[in-house]
Structure 1
Amino acid sequence: MKFPLYFSRKIAFSKDNKNNLSRVIIFIGRLSVALGVIVSLITVSTGLGSKKAIKERLGDFSGHVTIKSTQSNSSYNTSVLDNAGLDIKKIQSLPDVASVQKYAMVTGIMRNEHSFCGVIFKGVGKDFDSLRFKKFLIAGKTPFFDGDGYNNGVVISEKIANDLHLKVKDSIVTVFSKADQKPIYRKFEVTGIFKTDIKMIDDQFVVGDINHVKRILDMKPEEIGGLDIFFKNVNDVDEDFPQVEKYIGYKNYAEKATDKYPQINDWIGLFDTNMGIIISIMLLVVIINIIMVLLILIIERTNSIGLLKTLGATNGQIRTTFINYTLIIMIPGLLCGNIIGLGLLFAQKYFEIIKLNPENYYVSVVPVDLNPLVIISISVGILIISGMALVIPSYLISKISPVKAIKYN
């Protein structure tokens, strides 16, 4: 075993540390490290969890990537998707694509004796991913769309259900307008109620049979308004988006779920900024405290430094010894910080203790992403950066004279 590591371990576990100033200094150093780890773990895990949860909710409702016609305007009434160059089978065969579903949308007004509500009627067919949608259901079920005839079952949001005083199995009339024609009336049965916690979705969307939309918009049976593409992992979207664009044709365009709602995309972007600022502040606090610990330990052990120099130890060996010493006494702080931080995160993940207002945060509880790589990286990163930060103040050792140090009391 090399001398600096051997000696640093000896003084780190020396019983003398329990009876002098070292005990207080070491406690302060460990406490700052533990707090730094706890805050960093909570910040990163909740930040990444929030980003992932919001992206998943947006994507699981409307597709991680959506294919639309370039003729689509600001209206929510979909234009017919152009088939020239569009290869749905090639899109479905991409390794990271989980499923593809067809849809068409039209705007309308739901009304009854209680009130009325403007809605976006999203029509889906037999390829509708009801299993993915199931996580949003809070009552009832999704109707089965077999593609034949007209299914009058619809799934409405909790917000719309509350506004119109509707519950499962209730009937509701919806009015659809067409240019230069009389309004079209359709009577639907509420088969399910959903909640995504995304205000822009919950305030407007209704899910029903695509054949109703085709009839209202005078679309041919084989025509569709767009495609919702779902990936196996929401984190694959940016990487695979260019691959999808190759097979959509020249008269269609692809759009990511987050790009549909710029305000949500901006909100997601804030997480990276906030995480960076908080971690930087905590890392600065840890480094300042650890440097303080090192300097006080050097001053306290001036006699030992002088003796080591007299016995032939070089400045580099002594500096390495004290840096190792400081890093060793950080380890209990790292362990305690990880235990407490992970304990709090696991409690939040499985018991959902802290709730949020979905109108402001787009999620109803604080989401947690326990990524092992991130957890390990935080502890290892603090150790490495602290070790690098200790190099400069450790040069104080080279200024200590052996003769004066031995006389120092």
Structure 2
Amino acid sequence: MNVPVFLARKVRHAPEGSFSATVTRIGIGSIALGLAILIVAFAVLYGFKHTIQQKIFLFGAHLGVSKFTNNMSYEETALPLHSNLYDDSTKIPGIRHIQAVALKAGILKTKEELSGVILKGVGRDYDWNLFQGSLVAGKVPVVGADTGSGSTQLLLSQYMANQLGVNVGESVPLYFLGNAPRARKMTVVGIYDTGLEEVDKTIALGDIRLIQRLNRWGPDSVGSYEIFVNDFARLDQTAANVFQALSPDMRLTRVTDQYRPLFDWMLLLDRNMVILLSLITFIASFNMISVLLVLMMERTPMVGLLKALGAANPLIRRMFVFVGLNMVSWGLLIGNVVGLGLCYIQDRFKLIPLDPKNYFMNYVPIVWDWPTILALNGGAVLLIALVLWFPTFIINRIQPVKALAFKK
């Protein structure tokens, strides 16, 4: 057996109830508590960011392309559907999906209430997968159908449905203002709820063919393109690739510019997490140094005896490092069990609620990011292993004669 490991086992097995055993438990507890807090913190942080981003992407794609114009209203200038950008999007690096949409302002009116609305017209190329978590009643509208009443189906927000007092299956008039106001009888087929107030108060989804007819556009005219990228972390690089494919009369916008306050808020969360990580790392490192110093003071006579028998300082230092790493392993085990357990309970039972008006969601979200969890465990081992070497250098100053005479 390796000598440092054998001696470390002797140091580790202190009598139950002794001061040394108590200090060891404190060291294990501090590591476990720090790791559990970090696991929960990162799971919640990533949960917040992922949930908010997914809600934003429901109505604000990663990249948007529209016609260059000075018009600041919702009356869009038409883009051709079959452009080089749209038809050759698969050849542009970084693009996952592209879809054509159109916007038009209107008013929904019932006998008692009315509500301003921005109708977002979508076609067959629209990706409805993002709506799976936000659809609270009914279904998404049928769009781009050759027959039937698909162009009169409407997807409303829960906020507007409550304001107007309408439910799934009911009809509501939608008025479009202009030189001659026009009305369309729309059927509510679904209700969504994102928790983003500025979206829920204004956006309804329907068939793009309705807007094309109202604007007197042909079937090959749309209001804008929405582009989703493969890797959101490389948004700027993909935006540069898309920009190269634009014609001179097209304008490119990023979702990070369109919803800058929300992304600034998420950046602030990242900064807070760095501060939290730094504080917990400092406290855990300080505790481990303190624990190891106490253990060395407890074992001063043994250190003197080992030196008197010819043991070199590096050998004794490695012995105490093994003791520290043993505590780290137990601390990591307990910390993972506690941290992952708390995350599982919240993810499974949604025990901690949130006010959607302030947090844009109904409960604390959890995201299982296993690379981050593994990095936290690996980083804790490496950092504490390095930190543990510093207090062991005090062994060089222990003299065998004085250490053997040392009384606890």
TM-score w.r.t. structure 1 length? 0.91
Q: What corresponds to 1:40 in structure 2? A: 38
Q: Distance in 1 between matches of 2:81 and 2:189?
A: 33
What is the match of residue 157 of structure 1?
157
User: Percent identity, aligned pairs only?
Assistant: 31
User: 2:326 is matched with which residue?
Assistant: 328
**1:232-247 to 2 correspondences below 5 Å:** 237=235, 240-247=238-245
Kept in 2, the 8 Å contact 1:199–1:358? The answer is no
Of 67, 74, 77, 1:76 maps to 74
Q: Is the 8 A contact 2:157 2:191 kept in 1?
A: yes
What secondary structure is seen at the aligned counterpart in 2 of 1:126? coil
Q: Superposition RMSD on alpha carbons, in Å?
A: 2.3
Could you tell me how far 1:199 is from its partner in structure 2? Answer: 1.8
**Structure 2 match to 1:184:** 182
Distance 1:92 1:202, change over 3 A: farther
Partner of 2:381: 383
Higher alpha-carbon deviation: 231-240 or 335-344: 231-240
Match of 2:136 among 132, 135, 138: 138
Counterpart residue number, 2:258: 260
Query: How do 1:106-255 residues align onto structure 2 when only pairs under 5 Å count?
Result: 106-146=104-144, 148=146, 151-178=151-178, 181-231=179-229, 237=235, 240-255=238-253
Shift of 1:337: 0.9
Q: 2:65 maps to which residue?
A: 67
Provide closer, same or farther for how the CA distance between residues 248 and 134 of structure 1 changes in structure 2, counting only shifts above 3 A.
farther
Residue identity opposite 1:69 in structure 2? K
Write the distance in 2 (CA, Å) between the matches of 1:345 and 1:199.
28
Return the alpha-carbon distance in structure 2 between the equivalents of residues 341 and 393 of structure 1.
29
Residue type of the alignment partner of 1:268 = M
Residue 301 of structure 1: aligned partner: 299
- Indicate if the aligned counterparts of 1:60 and 1:230 stay in contact, CA closer than 8 A: no
Aligned length: 405
What residue is the counterpart of 1:4 in the other structure?
Answer: 4
Instruction: Summarize deviations over 1:36-55 as a string: whole Å, max 9, x none.
Output: 01100001111012112211
Farther off after superposition, 145-154 or 116-125: 145-154
Q: Tell me the secondary structure at the aligned position of residue 381 of structure 1.
A: helix
Deviation at 1:127, TM superposition (A): 1.8
**Does the 8 Å CA contact 2:143/2:151 hold for their aligned counterparts?**
yes
Deviations 1:179-235 (A, max 9, x none): xx1322222111111112222211110001112222333433311111122345655
Name 1:366's counterpart in structure 2. Answer: 364
The 1:72/1:185 distance shift into structure 2, 3 A limit, reads: farther
Q: Is residue 405 of structure 1 aligned with residue 397 of structure 2?
A: no
Distance 1:132 1:369 in 2: 17
8 Å contact kept, 1:108–1:177: yes
SS at match of 1:295: helix
Contact 1:9 1:328 (8 Å CA) reproduced = no
Query: In structure 2, do the counterparts of structure 1 residues 315 and 210 end up closer, same or farther at CA, with 3 Å as the change threshold?
Result: same
Measured in 2, the distance between the counterparts of 1:321 and 1:251 equals: 72
Q: What is the CA deviation profile of residues 11-64 of structure 1, one whole-angstrom value per residue up to 9, with x for unaligned ones?
A: 22x3x3425211110111111111101100001111012112211222244423
Task: Kindly state the Cα deviation for residue 253 of structure 1 after the two structures are TM-superposed.
Answer: 2.9
Aligned to 1:101: 99
Q: Is the 8 A contact 1:66 1:227 kept in 2?
A: yes
Counterpart-to-counterpart distance in 1, 2:101 and 2:70 = 14
Alpha-carbon contact 2:116-2:202 (below 8 Å) kept: yes
Partner SS state of residue 338, structure 1: helix
Is the 8 Å Cα contact of residues 82 and 220 (structure 2) preserved in structure 1? Answer: no
Structure 2 stretches of 5 or more lacking a match? none
